[in-house]
Chains A and B, each alone.
Chain A
Amino acid sequence: MTVAGPQGAFSQPEQEPDPRQQPDRKPELGSGSATATPRGIFDPQTLSACISCGFCLPACPTYAQTKLENSSPRGRITLMRALEDGRLDPDDPTLQREAGLCLGCRACETVCPAGVKYGELLEQWRDHQWRGRHTPLVAGGLRAGVRVTAALAAGGLVRGAARTTGPADPSRPHIMLGCMERSLYPGISKAVLRLVPDADVPSGQGCCGALHAHNGGSVEGARLAAALGQTMPGTIVSTSGGCAAYLDHQLGHGRVQELSQFLVARWAADPSSKPRLRPIMIDGRIARIGLQDSCQLRNGMGVSAQPRALLREIGDYVELPSAGTCCGGAGTYSMLQPAMSQAVLAPTMVQAQEAGLDYLVSLNVVCQRQLATGVKRSRVPVQVIHLAELLERALGD
């Protein structure tokens, strides 16, 4: 090797950097280095699974908004690795910002050929990032608020959610009341009782813990999930995709079913259990119905066909292009990241209007709140309704 060539503008001749010898090119810790000392924030195997191919970029709603690598799943995993490796300060503002800016919708997981469990990484990241004083106020407040089972029960009672029926009967399906749902949308659990007449509504239900796990409190989340599982032995029917997916992960596959999943399976197995569903009519015509998937349900549990099948039975179902994309509700997100939350929601509002929908159906109370706020703000003449309540209308009186 020689140092040849005109010096001119090249005032700094340097040795050819041999990439495979350069100190900076050591394998990243998160990708499996045997030499450096990890901070122990992440599960090393989960963190090492990503090969940075970038296939997740087009699936990420926040990357679509910013076009910044930082706000893509691959970029965030690079950030997590830098945190784990010690290449970034734990208080680095980008880490803090991106841990919050991620919707946690897990759309990236469905397109990841390497099978990276991004949702788990995000929980581990937020556990670290939102510790102590770094916890966003709203997230901390909600985590504390829904911890108290008695308060939840009182809230539901006041708002008129389905009455509890005492301790759980393991032979019957259990209606899960949901901590937000029972006070915000008490009609949902009542509608479920009409669709699943043999279900009970066990008393003493607490929060499922998903909200904690997604907001930096995964240990407490797991504890709450386990407690809820004990309160309700047997099949739990949830009307909230987020709760269902979290409990499915925590309690083991099969213990929890989301409402549409439960109904489709039950009515297929025993057609006599299926009530007559009549088309929903508006001004003498069949109603046009759109859907907003619950991300946790679609991406975490793989449930997307069932709600569509049910809606096709009761109306003129229209698949919105953004039906499978996060609405920006995302747990506490709409409160923590209002600007991005609205930006992510905007296409759905435009599409709902263009499609001339009568109903926009949600599968999760957080989505419902987000969509309801959205249609009000953008004056879209569409009614946002939970699947359970629309199905109840199809039952007639």
Chain B
Amino acid sequence: MSGLPVSALTPSPTSSSDLTPTAPRLPAGAGRPVPPDILDRLRSIVGADHVLVSDGDVEPYARDATPLFRSRPGCVLLPATTSEVAQVLRLATEHGIPVTPRGAGSNLAAATIPEHGGIVLVLTRMTALKEISGDELLAVVEAGVTTAELADAAAAKGLLYAPDPGSRTVSTVAGNVAMCAGGLRGLKYGVTRNYVLGLEAVLPTGEVIRTGGRLWKDVAGYDLTRLLTGSEGTLAVITEVTVALLPMPAIARTGVAYFPTLAHASRAVAGVIHDGIVPATLEFLDNRCINAVEDFAKLGLDREAGALLLFGDDGTAEAVERSLAIMANTCEREGARGVTMARDIAESEALLTARRCSLPALARLAPITMLEDATVPRTRLAEMVDRIDAIAARHNVVCATFGHAGDGNLHPTIVFDPADGDVRHRAEAAFSDVFDTAIELGGTITGEHGVGAAKRPYLERRLGADQMALLRRLKAAFDPAGILNPGKLGS
């Protein structure tokens, strides 16, 4: 595009691209094939078997779990060690080749789409579970260990890895850190960032840094651990993660309450918090989600209910019993039609598993499921839910909503068949309104899925121009050649 006059890059104010005020700064090799001599050097670094270049071999890495985004990389590398990652990045910086780090590719914000080609750096071969320490209450894992593998290994030693993203069986720990994944236990336990003690990461220029470590208290220097958490692969490539663990709670129990509407369920959530309970789980699903989940999981959910609230807690037997009794009472007070308790652990786990499947289960309704994760203060939840309904009606789209009600974290999901005229534009317009509404209510455009390429046009609405400029200066400090996941966040 170097030949274009600057005016061509300055669209009219009515164009949708005026949402992003500044062009991303791209490395020299953006959008170009990876030169053959560089491919040879990459092969000598990671081994020829771990460099994919043919059209067919790289095609599956052209996308992640985000609908409508696809861009084929020039090559795919699967390094096995931190040293290999460092050598690859040094070479990429030297030659200005874009590098998009990737774990399992389960993110929902198009954060791992290699929009400008180049290298997709897949960390799924780095799968060592290096340490689980009950004495220090921590675990050290390589980037490609899945969240469920970490949680299971911790559980085997009587320990809890608290972050619980819906994709836990698939997603990698480093991917969770890069996206600051949330999940079903956010209210009581927080999200990924609350558990990251230390990182080993490779800078785009090839230096290996270790941030934080094994300490709960450590204020030496800027908190780079937190900065890299949620940096979406734009600042460094995370190769090893040290996470905090907790003692496994004695018991966990779950109950289900059915409400006439999502707003009723939202008021029950506010009531629970008001009662002084901070439970492990407060998840809700609207009627469309209930039916989609029931189609898959066949748990005997009430298909007629307007909304379902899944509530649960863990801890000592007495505390959990008390907590669930109060929550059940609150639900009834707020108009629940029926409240039932899971009989045993298996039933509890089945309910949670079904909730985690909400999004893919919604795919049964139509070919495209566009999902967002606007988040508002808990006290504005009922209002937000009603306004989402109004927005969907105004734009004439079918919207199913579920989410982490306790965190004010909503997943309005618009399902559509792209063959249906301009529905995609209506869906985008609806989401634009949803983001504006969330911000108006004191919320954010994304609670846990990240910005990626999908929400990039809306980021400045949330951050403002000054913070956007700071993001870009930070990015330049980490990544002078602009090779890491170019085009995203502070590029």
Bind each other: yes
C-alpha spacing A98/B56, complex, angstroms: 10
Interface contact A14-B62, CB-CB below 8 Å: no
B:18-60 near A, CB below 8 Å: 18, 20-28, 30-31, 52, 54-57, 59-60
Bound-complex Cα distance A55 to B167 (A): 7
CB distance from A53 to the nearest CB of B (A): 4
Bound complex: CA A25 to CA B146 (Å) = 29
Q: State whether A5 and B25 are in contact (beta carbons under 8 Å apart), knowing that A15-B1, A21-B17, A27-B368 are contacts in the complex.
A: yes
B332-368 toward A: CB 8 Å interface, digit per residue (1/0)?
Answer: 0000000000000000000000000101110110011
Whether a CB of chain A sits under 8 angstroms from the CB of B250 is no
- Do A55 and B169 touch (CB < 8 A)? yes
> A374 an interface residue at 8 Å Cβ cutoff?
no
Q: Which residues of A contact B61 (CB under 8 A)?
A: 69
Tell whether, in the assembled complex, residue A5 and residue B418 are in contact, meaning their CB atoms are under 8 Å apart: no
**Which residues of A1-43 have CB atoms within 8 Å of chain B's CB atoms?**
1-6, 8-21, 24-28, 31-34
What chain B residues lie within 8 Å of A115 (beta carbons)?
295-296, 363-364
Q: A27-B68, A52-B65, A58-B146 are in contact. Are A113 and B170 (CB under 8 A)?
A: no
* Contact call A94/B54, Cβ cutoff below 8 A: yes
Residues 40 to 93 of chain A near chain B (Cβ within 8 Å) = 48-55, 57-58, 67-70, 72, 74-76, 78-79, 82, 87-89, 92-93
Asked whether A19 lies within 8 Å of B22 as measured between CB atoms, the reply is no
**Is B291 positioned at the interface, with any CB of A under 8 Å from its CB?**
no
Q: 1/0 per residue B50-85: CB within 8 Å of A?
A: 001011110111111101111100000010000000
Known: A19-B69, A52-B63. A67 touches B124 (CB 8 A): yes
At the interface, yes or no: A114 with Cβ under 8 Å from chain B?
yes
User: With A12-B1, A14-B1 given, is the CB distance from A93 to B54 under 8 Å?
Assistant: yes
Decide if A88 touches B26 in the complex (CB within 8 Å). Answer: no
Interface magnitude class on chain A: 35 or more
Please, which residue of chain B has its CB at the minimum distance from the CB of A34?
Answer: B419
Query: Are B59 and A1 interface neighbours, CB within 8 A?
Result: no
Q: Which residues from A are CB-within-8-Å of B14? A: none
Complex interface: chain A residues within 8 A of B63 (CB): 52, 78
Chain B contacts for A13, CB-based, 8 A: 1-2, 9, 23, 25-26
| A51, B418: Cβ atoms closer than 8 Å | no
State the CA gap A259–B148 with chains docked (Å): 36
Query: A385 within 8 Å of B by Cβ?
Result: no
- Whether A95 sits at the interface, judged by CB under 8 Å, is yes
Instruction: Let me know if B482 and A9 touch, CB within 8 A.
Output: yes
Look across to chain B and name the residue whose beta carbon is closest to the beta carbon of A21: B16
Instruction: Give the CA-CA distance A230 to B454 in the complex, in Å.
Output: 55
Q: Contact partner of A53 among B27, B59, B71, B360, CB < 8 A? A: B360
Residues of B contacting A264 in the complex (Cβ-Cβ under 8 angstroms): none
Bound-complex Cα distance A16 to B20 (A): 7
Rounded to whole Å, the gap between the CB of B10 and the closest CB of chain A is: 5
Q: Does A157 contact B (CB under 8 A)?
A: no
Query: In chain B, what residue has the closest Cβ to A19?
Result: B453
Complex Cα distance A20/B431, Å? 13
- Once the chains bind, are B456 and A53 in contact (CB under 8 Å)? no
Closest to A92 in B: B56
A101 within 8 A of B: no
B482/A79 in contact, CB under 8 A: no
A14 to chain B, nearest CB (A): 5
**Chain B residues positioned under 8 Å from A113 (CB to CB):** 293, 296-297, 357, 359-361, 363
A112 close to B (CB within 8 Å): yes
State whether B59 touches A88 (Cβ < 8 A): yes
Residue of A3, A6, A8, A19 touching B110 (CB-CB under 8 A): A19
Taken together as a complex, chains A and B put the C-alpha atoms of A87 and B364 apart, in Å, by: 26
Chain A residues with CB below 8 A from B105, complex form:
54, 69
The answer, among B28, B56, B357, for a CB contact under 8 Å with A9, is: B28
A55–B297 Cα gap in the complex (Å)? 14
Residue B96 lies at the interface, judged by CB distance under 8 Å to chain A: yes
Query: Is B176 located at the chain interface by the 8 A CB criterion?
Result: no
Q: Give Cα distance in the complex from A220 to B245, angstroms.
A: 57
Residues of B within 8 A of A27 (CB): 67-68, 368, 418, 424
Contact A15 B17 (CB under 8 A): yes
Cross-chain contact A79 with B59 (CB below 8 angstroms) = yes
B363/A114 in contact, CB under 8 A: yes
Which one of A2, A6, A52, A58 lies within 8 Å of B21 (CB-CB)?
A2
Do A49 and B363 touch (CB < 8 A)? yes
How many positions in chain B have a CB within 8 Å of any CB in the partner chain? Answer: 85
Main secondary structure of the interface of B (DSSP, over half): loop
Contacts of B146 in A (CB 8 A): 58
Q: A24-B71, A34-B418 are in contact. Are A5 and B22 (CB under 8 A)?
A: yes
A25 B106 Cβ-Cβ under 8 A: no
Given A1-B17, A12-B1, A54-B106; A17-B487 close (CB under 8 Å) = yes
B481 at the interface (CB under 8 A from A): yes
Residues of B near A55 (CB, < 8 A) are 167, 169-170, 357, 360
A16 with B54: CB separation less than 8 A: no
Which B residues between 440 and 475 are near A, CB-CB below 8 angstroms? 453-454, 456-457, 472
A residues within 8 A CB of B296? 113, 115
Q: Closest CB-CB distance, B204 to chain A, in whole Å?
A: 11
A78 contacts which of B23, B54, B59 (Cβ < 8 Å)?
Answer: B59
Tell me which residues across on chain B come within 8 A of A54, comparing CB atoms.
65, 104-106, 167, 170-171
Pick the contact of A92 from B9, B52, B54, B419 — CB < 8 Å? Answer: B54
B225 in contact (CB, < 8 A): no
Closest Cβ of chain A to B235, distance in Å, is: 16
Q: Say yes or no for B417: interface residue by CB 8 A criterion.
A: yes
Cα separation A95 to B55 with both chains bound (whole Å): 10
Q: Is the CB of B10 within 8 A of A53?
A: no
Residue of B nearest to A5 (CB): B25
* Whole-angstrom CA separation of A14 from B2 in the bound complex: 8
A20 CA / B16 CA spacing, docked (Å): 9
Q: Hey, which chain B residues are within 8 Å of A70, CB to CB?
A: 52, 56-57, 60
In the bound assembly, the distance between CA atoms of A132 and B282 in angstroms comes to 57
Contacting pair B28 A12 (CB below 8 A): yes
Known contacts A9-B27, A12-B30, A31-B368; is A2 also within 8 Å of B22 by CB?
yes
A residues in contact with B364, CB < 8 Å: 49, 114-115
Docked-complex contact B17 and A78, CB < 8 angstroms: no
The answer to whether B65 and A1 have CB atoms under 8 Å apart is no
Name the one of B18, B23, B55, B56 contacting A14, with C-beta atoms under 8 angstroms. B23
Closest partner residue, chain A, to B93 (CB atom) = A9
If A4-B23, A32-B367 touch, whether A9 touches B104 (CB-CB below 8 Å) is: no
B20 neighbours in A (Cβ, 8 Å): 1, 16, 18
Does any Cβ of A come within 8 Å of B220's Cβ?
no
Contacts A32-B419, A54-B105, A67-B124 given; indicate if A18 touches B17 (C-beta within 8 A). Answer: yes
28 contacts between A and B (CB under 8 A): A9-B28, A11-B2, A12-B30, A13-B9, A13-B23, A13-B26, A14-B26, A15-B17, A19-B68, A21-B17, A25-B71, A27-B424, A50-B363, A53-B170, A54-B167, A54-B170, A55-B169, A58-B146, A58-B169, A69-B61, A69-B105, A88-B56, A94-B55, A94-B59, A112-B360, A113-B293, A115-B296, A115-B364
Point out residues on B near A: beta carbons under 8 Å.
1-2, 4, 6, 8-11, 16-18, 20-28, 30-31, 52, 54-57, 59-65, 67-71, 78, 96, 104-106, 110, 115, 122, 124-125, 127, 144, 146, 148, 167, 169-171, 293, 295-297, 357, 359-361, 363-364, 367-369, 417-419, 424, 428, 453-454, 456-457, 472, 476, 480-482, 487
Besides A9-B481, A10-B26, A15-B4, 8 other CB < 8 A contacts? A3-B23, A9-B27, A16-B20, A34-B418, A57-B170, A58-B148, A82-B56, A113-B359
The 5 A-B pairs with the shortest beta carbon distances in the complex, nearest first, are: A94-B56, A32-B367, A75-B60, A114-B363, A113-B360
